[in-house]
Amino acid sequence: TPKALKLYGVDESEYSGEAEMFTKIHEMRTRIISNSKFDGSRVLGAILFEMTMDRQINGIPSAKFLWEQKGIVPFLKIDKGLEEEKNGVQMMKDMPQLEALLDKGVAAGVFGTKERSVIKSFNKEGIKAIAKQQFEVARRVLAKGLVPIIEPEVDINSPDKARCEEYLLQCLLEGLQELAVHDHVIFKLTLPNKANLYAPLMGHPCTLRVVALSGGYNRAQACEVLAQNSGMIASFSRAFTEGLNAKQSDAEFSKVVDMACQMIYDASRSSTSAGAWKEMLAQMAKKDGFIAALDQSGGSTPKALKLYGVDESEYSGEAEMFTKIHEMRTRIISNSKFDGSRVLGAILFEMTMDRQINGIPSAKFLWEQKGIVPFLKIDKGLEEEKNGVQMMKDMPQLEALLDK
């Protein structure tokens, strides 16, 4: 709190003791939350400290104000800080009053909770213990009808950050398997070294959302990395309040709040949101229809064009050939009769995915304009026949293609 106040332009000399300090921090939070630029049009939820929840904003209890006046979902931070580092991690301290705090949160109208622990270095025993503790607390939260935000932060300065993240993912997936089918959790995770590393979490039915903490990155850095992670949205603290100052006029303050909200909102709007992914999954699992294979490539392309009435004399070279096939696919996909009422999905060739349809990236056009789930053809053709079969050719660039 003293650090947060100092960044906000309030020096320690301006308050005396813990009570005055928390009054100052509440004034800061009240100024942010009550600002006209801070509302549910861009901000989905807000995590409150217990003392914030206990106080009022403009004469209304804080959690109630967030939801009823702003349309923002309130969460409550429930952890009581961190233990000393052991086995490369800092576990959460014991929470002997957790049940009472959860009951208090329910009465105040919070939707969920947040609990943070930290991974400092790669140690399987430590990371496994972190995940186990997080899920143990999560189950206690779920028992109260609340949604837990599970936050096992990986220190961005860890020399083993990538290894920590990969093993953490494994532990979190194992933890998800132990939840009941009706349970829902949110994961708050450090922006990963490998883009889209946490995508497997999004596909699990118990995962409500996967959100990113800024973890020491400034706002520009955090937004840049976040935008590379499809389906992940922001839950920034210092990166959100960056640039806000107690000495600013209301107009200056509002300008910074607006800029921060818009910048973080834009970075959170990835090409395929987690919600959209789940809609796609449901469509493919349950809806009637068929999958259109629009993925002719390489040697099959001239044949496809010929069947379409475009002779080889009408184009010269591969570039023109692929332009012609894209024109054909665009004509099909943009046709009013080709939509999600009958077509469940469409398989695209890489060059089709790379291009646009009516000024919109092809995969995005399929889903957002047509309600059709996009797939990508990834094989690079067939080997010569051997033992009665034709195997797929090697795909040395597969990881890069999948990330793309």
The number of helices, as runs of H, and strands, as runs of E, in the chain is 19, 15
128 is annotated as an active-site residue: no
- Lookup: tokens for 367: 């889903």
E strand or H helix that includes residue 45 = strand 45-48
The DSSP line for 230-278 is TTEEE--SHHHHTT--TTS-HHHHHHHHHHHHHHHHHHH--SS-HHHHH
Please give the backbone phi and psi of residue 330, each rounded to the nearest 5 degrees, phi first: -60, -40
Q: Residue 374, SS3? A: strand
Rounded Cα–Cα distance for residues 300 and 399 (Å):
25
What residues contact 396, with CB distance under 8 A and at least 6 apart?
none
Contact 258, 37 (CB under 8 A): yes
Angle of CA points 222, 224, 228, to nearest 5°: 110
Catalytic residue among 70, 77, 161, 188, which?
A: 188
Rounded Cα–Cα distance for residues 237 and 219 (Å):
10
Rounded Cα–Cα distance for residues 294 and 284 (Å):
17
Rounded Cα–Cα distance for residues 245 and 10 (Å):
8
Sign of CA dihedral 255, 261, 262, 263: positive
Rounded Cα–Cα distance for residues 97 and 84 (Å):
21
151 is annotated as an active-site residue: yes
Amino acid letter, 44: L
Hunting for tokens 């028992």 — which residue is that?
Answer: 143
According to DSSP, the residues that pair with 357 across neighbouring strands are: 360
Residue 171: closest CA among 218, 226, 199, 133: 133
Catalytic residue among 115, 151, 153, 165, which?
A: 151
- Positions marked catalytic: 151, 188
